[in-house]
Amino acid sequence: LLVDGVIAGVGSVVIFLPQILILFAFIIFLEDSGYMPRVAFMTDRLMRSVGLSGQSFIPMLSAFACAVPAVMATRVIPDRRDRLATMLAAPLMTCSARLPVYALLIAAFVPEHYYLGGFVNLQGLVLLGLYLLGIVGGVFTAWLMKRTVLRGPTPTFLIELPPYRLPSLQSVLIKLWGRAKVFLTRAGTVIFTVAVVIWALAYFPRPAAITDTFTEQRAAAETQLAGSALDLRLTELDQLESARLLENSALGRIGKFIEPVFEPLGWDWKLSAAVVAGFPAREVVIAVLGTIYAVGDGDANESALADRLKAARRPDGSLLFTLPMVLGMLFFYAFCLQCVATMAVIYRETNSWRWPIFAWTYMTGIGYLGALLIYQLGS
């Protein structure tokens, strides 16, 4: 619990902090220098075409690093409807947490074809397409929200253009510390709690029959093998035991329980369990799949995990990861809101669970329907 639950939970919070501090340092510098109001002014006409003002451009841009500071950056938007529309659109931008999932699936299943004399790669085009998909989805969401649930008159965009000045280092550091403290105390506590819960679901229960079986196999290996062969066998047994225990854990049972929901997408219980485990943070999916497919840590054995995914089969012997299923899965992760930190910050900024639940519902619904259509039409 201390290592995999508490420390991992705190780590899942702290891992966001460096990019947030860098982002806010630049934003504070631009604000104090007088340049930020000019950026908002220059992009106002472009943003008004989708119903927003120029003040929404900076939060939308920062969402490519992380949606958490992007949502927090919407505080500068005075109009409540514009602020909510920006909060609902920003999580659709391709954040850094989506990249591990994209990289694994694209490298494993998208053919490595080259075009234009080798300057253009099909895998790169797919990744670019996912980025563009997020941009189009975010822009369309903002446009739709401003014409439906957030309908209202477009406020007049008035902004004072202060003179340029060199920001004080002390002022920047004080503001930076204040924003970092807000992030850690607000979003951090929620991430910590959920991470510990996910660890408990993946760890318990631990059937004695499974542990006893692998203990006997280790003892047999130690009497029959030696040297590197023994080390290899013990490592293999550890990985297999982890996979068996995860399959019989509460998380594995949840995956099997919700498998019928994702079966129309071509997913099995393993992918369903990964979706549940990936709710606190999308990149958790890689580690969960690595454990389920008995290759150890997903980040350290990405090529081995890709090979296991390619070889994964259904009970009838057919391949599990077909191209339509993989493309549908990429679409799902492009839209699904699997980030409890983002939901927590939306709640804190709106002081209501209505908007984070609404964001999770419509984003997950779009991701599910898109993945369903891609898989069913492509199969």
List Cβ<8 Å contacts ≥24 apart for 71-74: 71/342, 71/345, 71/346, 71/349, 72/179, 72/182, 72/183, 72/345, 72/349, 73/27, 74/349
CA nearest neighbour of 355 among 28, 110, 71, 37:
71
pLDDT of residue 220: 96
Domain membership flag for residue 188: yes
What does DSSP assign to residue 339?
Answer: B
34 neighbors 161 (Cβ within 8 angstroms)? yes
pLDDT of residue 92: 96
pLDDT of residue 300: 43
List Cβ<8 Å contacts ≥24 apart for 2-7: 4/199, 4/203, 5/195, 5/196, 5/199, 5/200, 6/192, 6/196
Domain membership flag for residue 76: yes
Domain membership flag for residue 250: no
As a whole number of angstroms, the distance between CA 181 and CA 17 comes to 10
Domain membership flag for residue 335: no
pLDDT of residue 85: 95
pLDDT of residue 250: 92
Give the SS3 label for residue 8.
helix
How many Å separate Cα 179 from the centre of its chain?
A: 22
Q: What parts of the chain have a pLDDT lower than 70?
A: 1-16, 19-20, 23, 154-155, 182-183, 186-195, 291, 294-303
* Range of the structural domain that residue 188 is part of: 2-96+128-194
Q: Which residues contact 179 (CB under 8 A, 6 or more apart)?
A: 20, 24, 28, 72
CA nearest neighbour of 208 among 179, 180, 241, 183:
241
CA nearest neighbour of 134 among 91, 173, 103, 170:
91
pLDDT of residue 2: 57
As a whole number of angstroms, the distance between CA 284 and CA 28 comes to 31
Residue type, 111: P
pLDDT of residue 7: 55
Domain membership flag for residue 11: yes
Domain membership flag for residue 116: no
Domain membership flag for residue 348: no
What are the tens digits of pLDDT across the range 47-93? 888 888 888 988 898 888 789 889 988 988 888 999 999 999 999 99
Domain membership flag for residue 212: no
pLDDT of residue 302: 57
pLDDT of residue 278: 78
- Look at the chain and report how many structural domains it folds into: 1
pLDDT of residue 6: 53
